């Protein structure tokens, strides 16, 4: 069997992804974005596909007395010897997979996976604890718990210590949890109880934080109030490829960091709108999670610096007064912003992309 699969994969790169789907008798292993599928049950007539490796071809790796989970994991272990995959994820469809979560997590091969993801069904508190305790130090690990409910009083020290998380029910997450995030790559918080005031506090905290909190962050929302979200924050609305981004500079100028925020809005009622946050270096191309890029925000970062200085001078002028030199500086800043065509639109300082 190893020789056969080695021949199948002989010309393939080793940086492929492997997704193990546990879904009862329909369990399957997908390789390299569905280029190949290892089917753990007999296919219905007419369902064959050139990329499918049928269960009949996997029989040397399977014992008929095993459960479907045992068959699936054994095939995965043997597969890894033939085609070591760079990223390995386990996806469990709880509505159809009868094996308890704690039992699934007890299999030795699960400990070394890149991600474990649980969809639907019901997740008990002790099962949530088991998912959280799957975490290992200094390892890239992702978890998902979606399409189910998490108790509002749930707490665990590992809940925000993975590389990335997807919490479909994030109503239990508090503002202090957001502020405690460190070295997250991409957390996603779907249904949540965050107010605009909470998110405003979160943004202000990031502005003054010297530590790496996250790279990408998605927070769903029902209603948006930009005035409340951006209250007392120096923000610039900029554009790339006609798409608007809200730009906020970190107070730590050494790395010239920007927080960019996109409003992702959906017309379908079943899909929730979201705030898409990312951390960018002002002098480097804007990097998306899918490796796409946009031109750097160098000009906009410079404008943000002028806006911040202008704001400070204006506040000083009202509270304690400013010198003649500072009045001249304020006039110069206003002239520079006019030259850059910075305008207030709907209460937000806005500048168009310079092509």
236-267 pLDDT, tens digit each: 999 999 999 999 999 987 889 999 999 999 87
Mean per-residue pLDDT, 165-184 = 98
Higher pLDDT, 196 or 40: 196
Summarised one tens digit per residue, pLDDT across range 52-69 is 787 777 878 888 889 999
3-state secondary structure of 271: coil
**Count of residues in the chain:** 355
- Say whether pLDDT at 43 is over 70: no
Report residue 190's pLDDT band, with 50, 70 and 90 as the boundaries: very high
173 has a pLDDT exceeding 70: yes
- Residue 229 predicted with pLDDT over 80: yes
Q: What is the mean pLDDT of residues 215-223?
A: 96
Q: Determine the Cα–Cα distance for residues 68 and 55; give it in Å rounded to an integer.
A: 12
pLDDT over threshold 80, residue 3: no
Q: Name every residue whose Cβ is closer than 8 Å to that of residue 24 and which is 6 or more positions away in sequence.
A: 68, 93, 96, 97, 98
Q: Are 262 and 245 in contact (CB under 8 A)?
A: yes
The whole-number pLDDT of residue 4 equals 52
In the chain, what percentage of residues exceed pLDDT 90?
A: 79
Say what the pLDDT of residue 47 is.
52
Instruction: Give CA separation, 300 vs 55, 115, 248, 350, in Å.
Output: 56, 37, 10, 10
Model confidence at 40: pLDDT above 90: no
Q: How confident is the model at residue 196 (pLDDT cuts 50, 70, 90)?
A: very high
Between CA 253 and CA 309 the distance in angstroms is 13
pLDDT of residue 252: 86
Note the pLDDT of residue 351: 98
pLDDT classification of 46: cutoffs 50, 70, 90: very low
* 8 Å CB contact between 86 and 17: yes
Question: Residue 219's pLDDT is what?
Answer: 98
Query: Which pLDDT score, from 0 to 100, does residue 7 have?
Result: 45
pLDDT at 133: 98
Per-residue DSSP letter, 44: P
Higher per-residue pLDDT: 168 or 85: 168
- Is residue 13 predicted with pLDDT exceeding 70? no
Lowest mean pLDDT among 9-18, 107-116, 218-227, 331-340: 9-18
Predicted confidence (pLDDT) at residue 84 exceeds the cutoff of 60: yes
Q: What is the mean pLDDT of the chain?
A: 92
Question: 260-273, pLDDT tens digit by residue?
Answer: 999 999 877 778 89
Strand pairing class (164-169; 142-146): parallel
């Amino acid at each position: 069997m190893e020789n056969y699969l080695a021949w199948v994969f002989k010309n393939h790169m080793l940086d492929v992804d492997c997704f193990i789907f546990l879904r009862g008798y329909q369990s399957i292993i997908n390789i390299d974005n569905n280029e190949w599928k290892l089917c753990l049950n007999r296919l219905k007539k007419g369902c064959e596909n050139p990329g499918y490796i049928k269960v009949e071809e996997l029989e040397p790796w399977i014992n008929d007395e095993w459960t479907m989970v045992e068959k699936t994991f054994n095939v995965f272990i043997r597969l890894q010897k033939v085609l070591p995959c760079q990223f390995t994820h386990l996806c469990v469809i709880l509505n159809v997979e009868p094996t308890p979560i704690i039992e699934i997590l007890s299999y030795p091969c699960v400990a070394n996976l890149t991600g474990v993801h649980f969809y639907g069904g019901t997740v008990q508190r002790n099962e949530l604890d088991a998912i959280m305790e799957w975490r290992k130090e200094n390892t890239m690990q992702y978890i998902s718990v979606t399409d189910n409910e998490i108790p509002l009083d749930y707490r665990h020290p590992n809940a925000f210590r993975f590389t990335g998380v997807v919490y479909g029910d994030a109503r239990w997450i508090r503002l202090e949890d957001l502020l405690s995030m460190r070295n997250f790559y991409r957390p996603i918080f779907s249904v949540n109880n965050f107010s605009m005031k909470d998110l405003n506090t979160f943004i202000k905290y990031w502005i003054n934080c010297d530590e790496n909190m996250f790279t990408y962050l998605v927070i769903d929302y029902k209603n948006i109030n930009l005035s409340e979200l951006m209250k007392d924050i120096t923000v610039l609305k900029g554009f790339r490829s006609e798409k608007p981004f809200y730009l906020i500079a970190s107070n730590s100028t050494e790395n010239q960091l920007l927080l960019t925020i996109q409003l992702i809005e959906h017309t379908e009622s079943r899909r929730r709108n979201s705030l898409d946050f990312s951390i960018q270096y002002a002098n480097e191309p804007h990097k998306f999670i899918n490796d796409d890029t946009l031109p750097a925000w160098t000009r906009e970062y410079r404008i943000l610096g002028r806006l911040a200085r202008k704001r400070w001078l204006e506040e000083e002028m009202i509270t304690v007064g400013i010198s003649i030199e500072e009045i001249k500086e304020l006039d110069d800043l206003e002239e520079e912003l006019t030259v850059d065509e910075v305008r207030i639109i709907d209460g937000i300082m806005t500048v168009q992309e310079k092509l």
